[in-house]
């Protein structure tokens, strides 16, 4: 009886070992998801690092080859570290540019406004005009208007008048000055009353006339 029990224990220890070695097979168990993904990636996607460069459309370029990526108009060179692209200092676009093209590496102005705007009116480049009798203006190639305002000289009379389309006042009756409240012409002596003879200052027309008293005719008559 003791012998049979001993043999039974031996079978219990031996049989699980046989079952385990026979039943476990790695082909029956799927690999980890991480291992699957890594395997699939190597099969589907080629790794061009250090071998070439790929543009946005999937086209492969060799090391040292020059190409234009889809997201840039500037040329790039394929290197082991990836594409190295030119980044030039592009000229500034004129603020009044009306048409800009981006076909090249730098944006380019194709059309600039060819007129000047001044007080609601348009003028051609290099056109000269007078917005007022005292202003002389010119439309510059920069689309800016430059103006010069006339500096009028001091009139030689006390009663100047403004003529239409003329900037500065004119003395229609020639130079003159005031003798009291009377306007007398310059260059001659004028007897303003029975006792006073006056004349204008030479060149200083705005100053009152110089007058000298003479013996009054009324007293002589008496």
98-150 per-position pLDDT tens digit: 788 877 778 888 877 788 989 999 999 999 999 988 899 999 988 889 999 98
101 in the same domain as 57:
yes
Domain that holds residue 94: 51-113
Residue pLDDT, tens place only, 144-182: 899 999 888 888 899 999 888 888 999 988 999 999 889
> Is residue 46 situated within a structural domain?
no
Model confidence band, residue 12 (pLDDT cutoffs 50, 70, 90): very low
Query: What digits encode the pLDDT tens for the residues 53-89?
Result: 887 778 888 888 888 776 567 888 898 888 888 777 8
How many domains does the chain contain in total? 3
Percent of the chain exceeding pLDDT 70 equals: 73
Q: Is residue 91 located within the same domain as residue 58?
A: yes
Query: Do 207 and 201 meet the contact criterion of CB atoms below 8 Å apart?
Result: yes
Cα four-point dihedral sign 79, 80, 82, 87: negative
In a domain, 182, yes or no: yes
* pTM for this entry: 0.38
17 within domain boundaries: no
Domain annotation covers residue 210: yes
What 3-state class would DSSP assign to 10?
A: helix
Residues 144 and 175 reside in one and the same domain: no
Does 130 lie in the same domain as 167? no
Of 149, 169, 196, the last residue of a domain is 149
Inside any domain, residue 10: no
31 belongs to a structural domain: no
Contacts for 124 with CB less than 8 Å, ≥ 6 apart: 114, 115, 116, 139
């Amino acid at each position: 009886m003791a012998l049979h029990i001993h043999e039974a224990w031996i079978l219990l220890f031996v049989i699980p070992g046989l079952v385990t070695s026979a039943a476990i097979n790695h082909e029956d168990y799927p690999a980890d998801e991480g291992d699957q993904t890594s395997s699939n990636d190597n099969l589907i996607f080629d790794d061009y690092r250090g071998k070439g460069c790929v543009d946005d459309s999937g086209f492969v370029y060799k090391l040292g080859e020059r190409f234009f990526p889809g997201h840039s108009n500037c040329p790039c060179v394929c290197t082991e570290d990836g594409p190295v692209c030119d980044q030039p200092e592009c000229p500034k676009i004129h603020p009044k540019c009306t048409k800009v093209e981006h076909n090249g590496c730098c944006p380019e102005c194709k059309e600039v406004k060819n007129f000047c705007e001044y007080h609601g009116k348009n003028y051609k480049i290099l056109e000269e005009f007078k917005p007022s009798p005292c202003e002389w203006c010119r439309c510059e190639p920069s689309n800016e208007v430059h103006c010069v305002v006339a500096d009028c000289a001091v009139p030689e009379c006390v009663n100047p008048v403004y003529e239409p389309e003329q900037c500065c006042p004119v003395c229609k009756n020639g130079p003159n000055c005031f003798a009291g409240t009377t306007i007398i012409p310059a260059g001659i002596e004028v007897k303003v009353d029975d006792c006073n003879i006056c004349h204008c200052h030479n060149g200083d027309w705005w100053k009152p006339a110089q007058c000298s008293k003479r013996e009054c005719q009324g007293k002589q008559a008496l």
